Amino acid sequence: MIGYTVGAPAGTLRRAVGPYVGYVERAATPLARREAAVSRCVLVLGWGAPLDVRDPRDPAAGATSVASFTAGLSDSWVDTITAPGAAAGIQLMLDPLVATRILGRPLGELANQVVSVDQLDGAALRPLRDLPARLGAATTWAERFTLLDQAFGARLASTPEPDPRLAAAWRRLVTTGGAVPVPALATEAGWSRRQLTAVFRRELGLPPKVLARLVRFERARRAVSRAATDGWATVAADAGYYDQAHLIRDFRAFTGSTPTRLTPPPAYASA
């Protein structure tokens, strides 16, 4: 059994960190899920039963067992298993440029990784490391969401804005649905293609070509429910794919499955 409570961040935080998705989960047996790759940095601040995260590309590495963690941008899905018992927490989807400021490091250090919040070193990040315990001790979701507003607001107020050239390039990639060619993106930013790729890898964790594919895939995934009436070829074309085969390729890469087996991602409405 799982229940959700969704809250809206205050003021300007709303666009930066997306909705606060509080959850309470109770299971008598392990609960397995497959999580698709996303173009945002995942931050989970949890208490209670831990979560095992497995990278399907490296089965020999085993699982990372965590209750509170951040996941950098990834070019693959992951499998998760929640341990039996009661688990609770709050999940956030951070804009990558905001995540670098909140987490105090470029996302190149977190790409394709799941890192426990306890392992985020540095005195400035102590309030973030302390958040799971404070959230667990709070008695209402409203109180928890206020704690997040305060912590994230203070963190963003004390960190510099990202390089405006990187910010403009990332926004352009998102607003075009991943359709802008990488050479054009580099020219607009005033960098060579090699420089653009190096900056994206360092600051966001993935090269621009992969991020463009990921943004395009997310656009197609949001339209999965239309396929029954409009057809997959239409969904593929509207999302910017050359054909249906390219769409299926990206779905397999980012979800480990085909489009017909998936439902659209949840659209949480902020309260």
SS (H, E, C) 152-175: HHHHHHCCCCCCHHHHHHHHHHHH
CATH number at 252 reads 1.10.10.60
Residues 52 and 82 grouped into a single domain: yes
Query: Which residue, of 127, 157, 187, is where some domain finishes?
Result: 157
CATH number at 57 reads 2.60.120
Query: Which residue, of 157, 172, 195, is where some domain finishes?
Result: 157
Which sign, positive or negative, has the C-alpha torsion 116, 122, 127, 133? positive
197: pLDDT strictly greater than 80: yes
Residue 63 lies in a domain: yes
Residues 240 and 136 grouped into a single domain: no
Distance from C-alpha of 6 to C-alpha of 69, rounded to nearest angstrom: 19
29: pLDDT strictly greater than 90: no
Residues 93 and 140 grouped into a single domain: yes
Read off the pLDDT of each residue in 50-78 and give the average, rounded to a whole number: 85
Burial, 207: exposed, middle or buried (Cβ in 10 Å; 0-12, 13-18, 19+)?
middle
Read off the pLDDT of each residue in 215-228 and give the average, rounded to a whole number: 89
Query: How many structural domains are present in the chain?
Result: 2
Report H helices in 163-255.
164-175, 182-189, 193-203, 208-222, 227-230, 232-239, 244-255
Query: Which residue, of 92, 124, 157, is where some domain finishes?
Result: 157
What does the pLDDT read at residue 261? Answer: 74
Residue 189 lies in a domain: yes
What does the pLDDT read at residue 270? Answer: 41
Contact status, residue 68 vs residue 118, Cβ threshold 8 Å: yes
Residues 11 and 127 grouped into a single domain: yes
Helix 232-239 and helix 208-222, axial crossing angle in degrees, nearest 10:
140
Residues 27 and 119 grouped into a single domain: yes
Residues 174 and 148 grouped into a single domain: no
What does the pLDDT read at residue 174? Answer: 95
179: pLDDT strictly greater than 90: yes
Residues 69 and 180 grouped into a single domain: no
Please provide the average confidence, as pLDDT, over all residues in the chain: 90
Q: What are 82-96's pLDDT values in tens digits?
A: 878 888 999 999 999
What does the pLDDT read at residue 271? Answer: 37
What does the pLDDT read at residue 189? Answer: 96
Label residue 228 by pLDDT band (50, 70, 90).
confident
| Residue in 13, 5, 23, 4 with CA at minimum distance from that of residue 150 | 13
Residues 40 and 55 grouped into a single domain: yes
Residues 97 and 213 grouped into a single domain: no
Of residues 157 and 225, more confidence is placed in 157
Contact status, residue 133 vs residue 51, Cβ threshold 8 Å: no
What does the pLDDT read at residue 269? Answer: 42
25: pLDDT strictly greater than 90: no
Residues 169 and 241 grouped into a single domain: yes
> 34 lies in which domain range?
2-157
Read off the pLDDT of each residue in 17-34 and give the average, rounded to a whole number: 88
| Residue in 132, 116, 122 with CA at minimum distance from that of residue 47 | 132
